[in-house]
A and B are shown apart, each in its own frame.
Chain A
Amino acid sequence: DTGVSQNPRHKITKRGQNVTFRCDPISEHNRLYWYRQTLGQGPEFLTYFQNEAQLEKSRLLSDRFSAERPEGSISTLTIQRTEQRDSAMYRCASSLVASGDYTDTQYFGPGTRLTVL
């Protein structure tokens, strides 16, 4: 278990630019989640994948946001035409959930801190 990794760890960009973040989940985890977290708050769900299928998207995820997990492992989150309000920590989590499980243990990556100037 090497844990969930994310890169870059920090990203500073100018308003209007596009940014892409990468998440490497724990090997063989079938679920991958993207969250946004602001200072002092818990993670706010953005979207999640079951293998390569994107199953849910939050209302927080505007049309400028897109996420992919084409091969069911690594995922990317892209924000187009960034705005200052997009500044936050973007965290990825992965889990292994089997049919009949009643607990979903999600392992979080360290996050990518985005600052939009």
Chain B
Amino acid sequence: KNQVEQSPQSLIILEGKNCTLQCNYTVSPFSNLRWYKQDTGRGPVSLTIMTFSENTKSNGRYTATLDADTKQSSLHITASQLSDSASYICVVPVRTDKLIFGTGTRLQVFP
């Protein structure tokens, strides 16, 4: 069964600290994996898209890694800011017309 599972479900950190969010997937065939950031009350905004051959990809303070062998991805946030408080969603397409969305990790950054 195609599934995307994220952990932890929620996370609280202090401003300036680093954190890592996890995404495990069982989707086949695999073509790419996407991380989205979703602010409260808003829709998701794409952070990174990683293909099968990419191990790491950065977007500012966000760095995503992908291990296609173990079917795991992580999103590392460096030097967190208050504006990083949001839900982070991992998405894996099964095919062009079917995408599997994880339920996300809710991150709260406190001053």
- A residues neighboring B (CB under 8 Å): 3-4, 41-48, 56-60, 93, 101-110
Chain B at the A interface: SS class: strand
Alpha-carbon distance between A63 and B44 when the two chains are bound, in angstroms: 19
- Whether B96 is near chain A, meaning CB under 8 Å from some CB there, is yes
Q: Which residue of B lies closest to A102 (CB)?
A: B103
Residues of B within 8 A of A101 (CB): 103
Interface residues on B, range: 20 to 34
Sample (26) of A-B pairs whose CB atoms are under 8 Å apart: A3-B97, A4-B97, A42-B46, A45-B44, A45-B45, A56-B41, A56-B43, A58-B42, A59-B42, A60-B43, A93-B99, A101-B103, A102-B103, A103-B5, A103-B101, A104-B100, A105-B98, A105-B100, A105-B101, A106-B100, A106-B101, A107-B97, A107-B98, A108-B96, A108-B98, A108-B99
Measured in the bound complex, the distance between the Cα atoms of B98 and A104 in whole Å is: 10
A-B pair count, CB < 8 Å, reads 61
- Shortest Cβ distance from A105 into B: residue: B100
Q: Is the CB of B97 within 8 A of A103?
A: no
Contact B102 A106 (CB under 8 A): no
Q: A108-B96, A110-B97 are in contact. Are A103 and B103 (CB under 8 A)?
A: yes
Query: In the complex, what residues of A have CB within 8 A of residue B94's CB?
Result: 105
Chain B contacts for A109, CB-based, 8 A: 97
Beyond A45-B45, A108-B99, 8 additional contacts (C-beta under 8 Å) are A42-B34, A43-B99, A45-B36, A57-B43, A103-B103, A105-B2, A105-B98, A105-B99
